[in-house]
């Protein structure tokens, strides 16, 4: 006897379906479904000769048809699709969902159970309940196992009911499931990179107080290497910093590179200096997929088959390069490029922060040294003035007294020099960014300058301004002290420049000039005066007597330096630039 053909009957189980059911059973094998969704599930599992649908399900069939279109589209969709009843049981699913769950038939199973009770990450922690109770769509993310993430989009199926006005409560849900593992892991990695960037230069006040500049640099390099290996999974690392003046790329951190490559001299140029030079010159990242075929690549790590190099950029300017390499060909993807670019921005900021912190410490040290020096400079000058005054009374009479006084003078001068040298050693120029460094004036280094003024603020300012550029400054209150200082220093040579106020307590500038002319070796003289102030026309007389330079108060630092330079040049102490 031939096997009877199957007919799918979707009637809803009402009394009106009984006569039709009996009539069909005489000729066909009847498979009955309570509702349309369960009928669709039966269609996906076995062949049927026909489908009889009760009139009550026509509106519902239209809506579901619009959502799913047909069984073939459903099965071939790249995302998982299931239809759930009010108890979260699966009444229909596509092939992708079955593949994820490693089962052929999931009908009748609890949705969460077939996914091994995943963790719900939100934002909606009850997406099925929300959709059923509110009639609105809902979304959520599930974590399945250790490293799979699924995003759910839940939409209620609202049944049509011509007998009542308004929508009825939904009885089924259509759930679209998309695997977002790659995107989710990338977001997690980006967040981790962001946290790592913050931690790169995160130092406590105790760290800043107790660590030297070199120790901070080593800590930063250690943090960079740690995150590069453990977070980005790169084992070969090379970071170079750009010297803006020379264009040279100086190694900062090198791990896994051949010694020859690590010590290779590179410059920021598009040709001749490899991928690193090209990236530094252009500010563009470079993905080298095959080191053998790439014309720019220079041998770095032993056996490297691919490399990835990105610029270190701060405030839209290239400050260095970050290079990683792999022994695998085409080992780096666009995501690796994105991650390294983001991390490199944090590295550049961390390096800049470290530089600013070092500059701040250096600046604080300079200020401390200057404050100490300012506090002792004028008192030491007073010692020099008193010692010289006493020594002049004993010259020719008490050689031993004079010898002891000369020793006092040397010791007093040595004290000031020691303070200056300590300050320079505590704030080396490499610890201060270029923009914050004091421009050196070689013509001022070790020049002895005597400043004569009754105003203490002028004498103090002379120390602060001129000693910043390497001068050896001493001061006097009046003309007599100045002349004594000049005579006493003759054993050490003489002052390179004498800067004196036009009006001193005991004489004017012109009279001081005449006294200096009487000496065997006259130091060059600069007179200071206020604009329009020239009692007794001493400036005019001094000029007629050979005075070359006048400095008008209040003067700027650059005017002071330029005046001293001209005096030194005219006296033959330094060549005119």
Same domain, 350 and 492: no
Q: Contact, 498 vs 523, CB < 8 A?
A: yes
Same domain, 48 and 89: no
Domain that holds residue 289: 189-358
Same domain, 64 and 76: no
- For the beta carbon of residue 355, count every other beta carbon within 10 angstroms: 20
> What does 467-507 look like in DSSP terms, one character per residue?
GGGT-EEEEESSHHHHHHHHHHGGGG---SEEEEESB-SS-
In order along its 577 residues, the chain shows pLDDT tens digits of 556 777 676 665 555 556 666 666 777 777 776 666 566 666 666 666 666 666 555 555 555 554 444 455 566 667 888 888 888 998 888 888 888 888 888 888 899 998 889 999 889 999 999 998 888 899 999 998 888 889 999 998 876 544 444 455 677 888 888 988 877 777 777 676 666 666 665 655 555 556 566 666 677 777 777 777 777 778 888 989 888 889 999 988 888 899 999 999 999 999 999 999 999 999 999 999 999 999 999 998 988 999 999 999 988 899 899 999 999 989 888 888 888 888 888 888 877 766 654 555 555 555 556 666 666 778 888 888 888 888 887 776 788 887 888 788 888 777 777 766 665 555 544 444 444 344 556 778 888 999 999 998 888 888 888 887 888 899 999 999 999 999 888 767 789 999 999 989 999 989 999 999 998 888 999 998 876 556 567 788 888 888 888 888 877 888 888 899 888 888 765 444 3
Q: What is the pLDDT of residue 576?
A: 40
- Residue 432 inside a domain? The answer is no
- Residue 400 inside a domain? The answer is no
Same domain, 197 and 174: no
In the listed set 68, 87, 109, which residue is the last one of a domain according to the structure? 68
Q: Contact, 82 vs 97, CB < 8 A?
A: yes
Same domain, 109 and 255: no
- Residue 368 inside a domain? The answer is no
Q: What is the CATH number of the domain that holds 253?
A: 3.30.450.40
DSSP H or E run through 411 = helix 399-426
In the listed set 358, 393, 421, which residue is the last one of a domain according to the structure? 358
Same domain, 147 and 200: no
Same domain, 38 and 74: no
Gap between the Cα atoms of 105 and 231, Å rounded: 41
CA distances to 11, 160, 526 from 310, in Å: 66, 59, 57
Gap between the Cα atoms of 378 and 460, Å rounded: 7
DSSP state of 387: H
Same domain, 450 and 559: yes
As given in the structure block, the two tokens for residue 260 are: 């020859």
Q: What is the pLDDT of residue 404?
A: 83
Same domain, 157 and 297: no
- Residue 444 inside a domain? The answer is yes
Same domain, 58 and 77: no
Q: What is the pLDDT of residue 429?
A: 47
- Residue 379 inside a domain? The answer is no
- Residue 388 inside a domain? The answer is no
**Is residue 524 helix, strand or coil?**
coil
In the listed set 307, 329, 358, which residue is the last one of a domain according to the structure? 358
pTM value surpassing 0.75:
no
Q: What is the pLDDT of residue 475?
A: 92
**Is residue 526 helix, strand or coil?**
strand
Q: Are strands 29-33 and 50-53 parallel, antiparallel or unpaired?
A: unpaired
């Amino acid at each position: 006897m031939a096997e009877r053909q199957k007919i799918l009957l979707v009637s809803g189980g009402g009394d009106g379906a009984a006569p039709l059911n009996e009539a069909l059973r005489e000729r066909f094998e009847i498979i009955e479904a309570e509702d349309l969704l369960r009928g669709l599930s039966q269609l996906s599992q076995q062949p049927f000769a026909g489908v009889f649908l009760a009139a009550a399900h026509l509106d519902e069939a239209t809506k579901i048809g619009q959502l799913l279109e047909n069984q073939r589209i459903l099965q071939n969709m790249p995302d998982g699709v299931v239809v759930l009843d009010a108890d979260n049981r699966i009444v229909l699913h596509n092939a992708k969902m079955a593949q994820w769950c490693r089962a052929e038939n999931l009908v009748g199973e609890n949705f969460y159970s077939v996914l091994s009770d995943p963790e719900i990450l939100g934002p909606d922690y009850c997406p099925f309940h929300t959709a059923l109770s509110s009639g609105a769509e809902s979304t959520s993310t599930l974590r399945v196992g250790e490293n799979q993430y699924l995003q759910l989009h839940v939409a209620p199926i609202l049944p049509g009911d011509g007998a009542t006005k308004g929508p009825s409560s939904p009885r089924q849900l259509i759930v679209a499931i998309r695997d977002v593992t790659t995107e989710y892991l990338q977001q997690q990695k980006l967040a981790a990179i962001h946290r790592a960037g913050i931690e790169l230069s995160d130092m406590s006040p105790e760290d800043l107080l107790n660590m030297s500049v070199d120790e901070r640099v080593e800590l930063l390099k250690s943090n960079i290497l740690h995150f590069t290996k453990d977070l980005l999974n790169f084992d070969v690392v090379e970071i170079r910093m750009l010297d803006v003046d020379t264009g040279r790329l100086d190694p900062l951190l090198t791990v896994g590179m051949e010694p020859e490559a690590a010590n290779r001299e590179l410059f920021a140029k598009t040709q001749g200096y490899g991928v690193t030079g090209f990236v530094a010159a252009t500010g563009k990242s470079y993905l080298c997929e095959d080191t053998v075929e790439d014309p720019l690549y220079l041998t770095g790590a032993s056996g490297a088959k691919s490399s990835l190099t990105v610029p270190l950029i701060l405030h839209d300017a290239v400050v260095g390069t970050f290079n990683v390499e792999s022994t695998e060909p085409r080992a780096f993807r666009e995501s690796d490029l994105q991650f390294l670019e983001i991390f490199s921005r944090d590295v550049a900021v961390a390096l800049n922060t470290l530089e600013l912190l070092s500059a701040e410490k250096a600046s604080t040290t300079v200020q401390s040294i200057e404050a100490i020096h300012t506090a002792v400079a004028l008192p030491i000058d007073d010692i020099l003035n008193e010692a010289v005054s006493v020594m002049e009374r004993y010259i020719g009479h008490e050689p031993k007294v004079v010898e002891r006084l000369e020793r006092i003078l040397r010791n007093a001068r040595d004290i000031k020099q020691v303070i200056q040298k300590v300050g320079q050693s505590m704030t080396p120029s490499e610890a201060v960014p270029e923009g914050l460094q004091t421009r050196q004036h070689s013509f001022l280094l070790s020049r002895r300058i005597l400043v004569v003024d009754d105003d203490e603020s002028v004498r103090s300012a002379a120390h602060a301004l001129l000693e910043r550029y390497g001068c050896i400054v001493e001061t006097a209150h009046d003309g007599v002290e100045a002349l004594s200082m000049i005579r006493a220093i003759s054993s050490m040579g003489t002052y390179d420049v004498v800067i004196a106020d036009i009006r001193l307590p005991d004489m004017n500038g012109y009279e001081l000039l005449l006294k200096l002319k009487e000496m065997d070796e006259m130091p060059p003289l600069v007179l200071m005066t206020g604009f329009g102030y020239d009692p007794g026309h001493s400036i005019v007389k001094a000029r007629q007597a050979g005075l070359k330079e006048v400095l008008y108060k209040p003067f700027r630092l650059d005017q002071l330096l330029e005046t001293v330079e001209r005096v030194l040049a005219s006296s033959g102490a330094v060549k005119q630039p």
